[in-house]
A and B are shown apart, each in its own frame.
Chain A
Amino acid sequence: MKFFVYRYNPDVDTAPHMQEYDVEVTRGMMLRDALMEIKRQDEAFAFRHSCGEGVCGSDAVNVNGANLLGCTTPVSELKEPVNVRPLPGRPVIRDLVVDMSQFYQQYRAVKPYLIHKDALPEQEILQSPEDRDKLDGLYECIMCGCCSTACPSFWWNPDKFHGPQALLQAWRFLADSRDQATEERLDALEGPYKLFRCHTIMNCVESCPKSLNPTKAIGKIKELMLRHSI
């Protein structure tokens, strides 16, 4: 199977280029396996990967124009030749390795942890099964970055717009019955940028390898904000 892989080493290359590789496909081969085979052929090639089963979110790449996880994508599903590029819009460190600092900064900005103002109880803070159900489809995010780097609003304003990943997590804590910082969280999202750059393009929904729906979460935040302001 023919692969064209984005190669760029800023220390040596003046410009990035696509390099061709031939990989012999084996039964059940995932894209990550193919990239590892390419790495065997060419040791200078760099890409991130770790768990190999769609849990760590390290090996998100852009393949034939779509963001996906290398470890959960069978090569048999890909159209040949396979064009493998780094996640779009992020500064390239080397080959498929990109700088995700801004993405993590946006995540940090939504305070992705429970804020409990009352005195903490002796035991755990109990939650009804119904309240727990509200977190389904939110907590599963593995922070691979497929969604935010597929979002045009994040491409234009990655320093100001939180992006779908961070906003999904913002809603994950707003929706949590144990969290007591709803007002502060909503106030922090005001203004034209952090939340309201989302134009419901829904690239995030299409690209999420865990089938989560950040657009829906963003809609819920807007709805809650509206309810709290009237």
Chain B
Amino acid sequence: MSRQASGLRAWALQRISAVYLGLYLIYMLGHLSFNAPESYEAWRAYVADPGVTFGMLLFATALLIHAWVGIRDVLIDYVHPIMARVGLLSLFAIGFIGCGLWFAKVVFLAGVAA
């Protein structure tokens, strides 16, 4: 991340991702309240819908971006020794990428099986 990208872009990404997360959560709560899939197969069929797949992947991406900017803020604030900060940032980066890949695998596998 370039020096230019580290302030404004992180801040803007956090806000944009927050808007999507908020809207998606409202949609999801509404969907689960009024039209929840009733069985495992119904869940798979629901997730396999290309629109839903795309929306979910975007949700995971937005969540990870949001979390990354947030955790980076916390580490910049509190962890001052540079090696400790780099270590923790790497740990979270690897964890977040792992979560993202796992989420993508779950969503795509539902599509493949359906």
A229 CB within 8 Å of chain B: yes
- Pairwise interchain contact B78-A190, C-beta atoms closer than 8 A: no
Taking CB atoms, residues of chain B closer than 8 Å to A195 are: 7
Taking CB atoms, residues of chain B closer than 8 Å to A191 are: 3, 6-7
In Å, the complex CA distance between A119 and B103 comes to: 61
- Pairwise interchain contact B77-A192, C-beta atoms closer than 8 A: no
- Pairwise interchain contact B3-A226, C-beta atoms closer than 8 A: no
Taking CB atoms, residues of chain B closer than 8 Å to A196 are: 7-8, 10-11
In Å, the complex CA distance between A195 and B10 comes to: 12
The majority secondary structure among interface residues of chain A is loop
Interface size of A in residues (CB-CB distance below 8 Å): 18
Task: Specify which of A156, A193, A197, A225 is in contact with B8 (CB 8 Å cutoff).
Answer: A225
A157 CB within 8 Å of chain B: yes
Q: Which of A83-106 contact B (CB under 8 A)?
A: none
Taking CB atoms, residues of chain A closer than 8 Å to B8 are: 190, 196, 222, 225-226, 229
In Å, the complex CA distance between A19 and B8 comes to: 47
Taking CB atoms, residues of chain A closer than 8 Å to B39 are: none
In the assembled complex, the CB of B57 is this many whole angstroms from the nearest CB of chain A, namely 25
In the assembled complex, the CB of B18 is this many whole angstroms from the nearest CB of chain A, namely 13
In Å, the complex CA distance between A229 and B9 comes to: 10
By a beta-carbon cutoff of 8 Å, the part of chain B in contact with chain A is: 3-4, 6-8, 10-12, 72-73, 76-78
By a beta-carbon cutoff of 8 Å, the part of chain A in contact with chain B is: 152-153, 156-157, 189-197, 199, 222, 225-226, 229
